[in-house]
A and B are shown apart, each in its own frame.
Chain A
Amino acid sequence: MPQDFPADSVGLVTPASVELPQAVTLACGRTLHNVNIVYETYGELNAQKNNAVLICHALSGNHHAAGFHSVDDKKPGWWDYYIGPGKPIDTNKFHVVSMNNIGGCAGSTGPMSINPDTGKPWGIDFPLLRVRDWVTTQKMLMDALGIPQWAAVIGGSLGGMQAMRWCVDFPDLLRHCVVSASALKLTAQNIAFNEIARQAITSDPDWCEGHFLQHGKFPKNGLAVARMVGHVTYLSGDAMGEKFGRDLRSGTFATGTDVPVEFQVQSYLRYQGESFSTNFDANTYILMTKALDYFDLGREFDDDPAKAFAATDSQFFITAFTSDWRFSPERSREIVQALVRANKSVSYAEIEASQGHDAFLIPIPRYLEVFGTYMQEIDT
């Protein structure tokens, strides 16, 4: 069976799950009991237990970062280009831990779980989360797995925010912080896009004030529109132009006919919205976008992110992509500037790429090379 998988794949993987032994006190003041965490690991933990890396997922991600769940899987995990034997996050060297964050919808405790107080799905009543709540629960999983320190905490976009927050909350528990296409805080424009997405969801007649599961409904159309908006902002104008141009999927502009015209990009977007909305929870989408909006690394440090980084001795590797306008290189340069002011060890690469924000998920030769080089030089 495994011979069906590429040689540089981690192959068949099976998610594991653990119930956290303690209740989780959240940033909002509320407490979650019996929290379940679903996670995957790739590569062996070495005897010194110093080769573990944590992968933090972004908005639509989950624990399934690499490999295949079955031989019939058409697609591997979401970061399979970057995790595997011989890949930048080399599973011959590292023990990779990837969990589904709480509030998610891939198995860890979230809005689709049963609220023990009501016996019904949490829905919109699931506590609002902040990035630090994910770091708190990632640390609890770390303890449960007996990992004393991360060789690296790695994340792109919202995942990068988690990696940076590790430096604030557990500054001694990571040796490297690897952040891609992220930001110290979102811009107004970025929050605005998230709000459009949320409005799309909550305007859907099947939203049911966030308790659609209890009513056996699902705001599928709203979630699909939310995803479409998001998806367009994760691509670049050039990338969409290259991929679709003004190509027609059906219809014609010939005079004398009134066949409706459909552009390729329309059908692509609808497909993206459609497939996403059948696999994702609307409340999770709202919760995740809010966590993104609320994040501001410097807020508790006199709005000075350099102070936020002060406590850690971690080394940093920051990357951004030239055509990413949702988390532009300017945002990453702000991270670098804060780290230089904090006198931290940091390297920064600005990768020429036309794919927009999604570039960090796509195999880009220069990113593969410099990311791989950085990871190879981590002592284990």
Chain B
Amino acid sequence: MRTDLNVVKSWVQPNAHILDLGCGDGTLLSELAAEKNCTGYGLEIDPKKINACVKRRINVIEQDLDTGLRNFESQSFDVVVMSQTLQAVKYPDLVVDEMLRVGKKCIVSFPNFGHWRCRLQLVLRGRMPVSKTLPYHWYDTPNIHLCTIKDFQKTCFAKNISIINRTVVSTSALDQLIKKPANFFGETAIYQLER
């Protein structure tokens, strides 16, 4: 399991009712069901991943996040999770608003574009960053709204969204050793938000 999902899992309270936006193959929901007795639904658009969810009996609803969450009632979930998907949606700021409407709290994780390796590639090579967490080229990437930790926090502040919790994770030993500043040494940022 991806490290960011472990952090997400640790932030979810037992018995929570969860909406997982971009739930992939349902790993997070199935582990939360098994370990914390959580219930809920995942939204996904990839047919293969939907099939994988159906196979492991995770409730999965085929839905494009760019069409919004209007079909979900306000405050109807304890937690709305979106891991590594924020950067791929058309209107990330509106999606976060909707997550906070539908859920009592929300947990978001995204790749940090302010990580030193990204900065280095842009400054030294003059190329758009390509890495393990961001393996695409500029023309074929689904990640159309990349941001840095600083960008994200500024947006939250401007929108009056409270950051309840933040963790950064990284796969490299160097990052794990130095840690700060997070916007330099964090590969992936995970936030818990409320309004």
Smallest CB separation, B50 vs chain A (Å):
6
What is the chain B residue whose CB lies nearest that of A345?
Answer: B59
Which one of A69-77, A286-294, A334-342 is at the interface? Answer: A334-342
A188-B104 Cα distance, complex, nearest whole Å: 38
A311-B176 Cα distance, complex, nearest whole Å:
51
| B60 on the A face (CB < 8 A) | yes
> Which residue of the partner chain B has the closest CB to A366?
B47
- Report which of A341, A343, A348, A366 forms a contact with B61, defined as CB distance below 8 A: A348
- Bound-state CA distance A336–B169 (Å) is 36
- Residues B72 and A340 in contact, CB atoms below 8 Å apart: yes
Contact A377/B71 with A347-B59, A347-B61, A350-B62 known, Cβ cut-off 8 Å: no
Does A374 sit within 8 A of B, measured CB to CB? yes
Known: A340-B72, A341-B73. A370 touches B59 (CB 8 A): no
Among candidates B39, B54, B62, residue contacting A373 with C-beta atoms closer than 8 Å: B54
CB distance from A328 to the nearest CB of B (A): 14
CB distance from A45 to the nearest CB of B (A): 24
B53 on the interface (CB 8 Å rule)?
yes
Q: Is B116 an interface residue (CB 8 A)?
A: no
CB contact under 8 A between A346 and B59, given known A369-B51, A370-B47: yes
Bound: A210/B118 CA distance, A: 77
Are A336 and B61 touching (Cβ within 8 A)? yes
Tell me which residues across on chain B come within 8 A of A336, comparing CB atoms: 61, 71
A373 and B47 alpha carbons, distance in the complex (Å):
12
Q: B57 near A: Cβ within 8 Å? A: yes
* Distance from B104 Cβ to chain A, minimum over Cβ atoms (Å): 16
Residues in B with CB closer than 8 Å to A337 are 71-72
**Which of B39, B47, B53, B72 is close to A347, meaning CB atoms less than 8 Å apart?**
B53
Closest approach, in angstroms, between the C-beta of A269 and any C-beta of chain B?
Answer: 33
Which chain B residues border A348 with CB–CB below 8 Å? 60-63
CB under 8 Å from chain A, chain B span 21-72: 39, 41, 47, 50-51, 53-55, 57-63, 71-72
What residues of A have a CB within 8 angstroms of the CB of B41 in the complex?
Answer: 340, 346
Q: Which residues of A contact B55 (CB under 8 A)?
A: 373, 376-377
User: Given A340-B41, A349-B47: A370 and B73 within 8 A (CB)?
Assistant: no
Pick from A340, A345, A347, A349: contact of B71, CB below 8 A. A340
- Cα of A341 to Cα of B77 in the assembled complex, Å: 11
A225→B112 CA distance, assembly (Å)? 62
Q: In the complex, what distance in Å separates the CA atom of A151 from the CA atom of B2?
A: 36
Task: Name which of B17, B58, B61, B63 has the most chain A CB atoms within 10 A of its CB.
Answer: B61
A349 vs B52: C-alpha distance in the bound complex, in angstroms?
Answer: 12
Whether the pair B73, A374 counts as a contact (CB closer than 8 A) is no
Which chain B positions have C-beta within 8 A of A366? 47
Per the bound structure, the CA–CA distance linking A337 and B61 in Å amounts to 10
Bound-complex Cα distance A142 to B145 (A):
55
B82 to chain A, nearest CB (A): 17
B54 in complex: contacting residue of A343, A347, A350, CB < 8 Å: A347
Minimum C-beta distance from B70 to chain A (A) = 9
How distant is the Cα of A366 from the Cα of B62 in the complex, in angstroms? 13
Specify which chain B residues have a CB less than 8 angstroms from the CB of A307 in the assembled complex.
Answer: none
Q: Which of chain A's residues have a CB closer than 8 A to the CB of B61? A: 336, 340, 346-348
C-alpha spacing A337/B57, complex, angstroms: 19
Complex Cα distance, B50 from A366, in Å, reads 11
Provide the bound-state CA to CA distance between A346 and B61, in Å: 8
Q: How far is the CA of A373 from the CA of B61 in the complex (A)?
A: 15
Contact B54 A370 (CB under 8 A): yes
Q: How distant is B10 from chain A, measured CB to nearest CB, in Å?
A: 25
* Shortest Cβ distance from A379 into B: residue: B57
CB-based nearest B residue for A346: B59
Query: B47 and A377: CB pair below 8 A?
Result: no
Contact across chains for B60 and A347 when beta carbons are under 8 A apart: yes
Q: How far is the CA of A340 from the CA of B18 in the complex (A)?
A: 12
Q: Chain A, 341-370, contact with B by CB distance < 8 Å: what is the 0/1 string?
A: 101011111100000000000000010011
A345 CB contacts on chain B under 8 angstroms: 59
- Smallest CB separation, A40 vs chain B (Å): 28
Sample of 5 A–B contacts (CB below 8 Å): A333-B71, A347-B53, A350-B62, A370-B54, A377-B54
Given contacts A337-B71, A343-B39, A349-B47, 16 further A-B contacts (CB under 8 A): A336-B61, A336-B71, A340-B72, A341-B73, A343-B17, A346-B41, A347-B54, A347-B58, A347-B59, A347-B60, A348-B63, A366-B47, A370-B51, A370-B54, A373-B54, A377-B54
Closest 4 CB pairs between A and B?
A: A350-B62, A348-B61, A337-B71, A373-B54
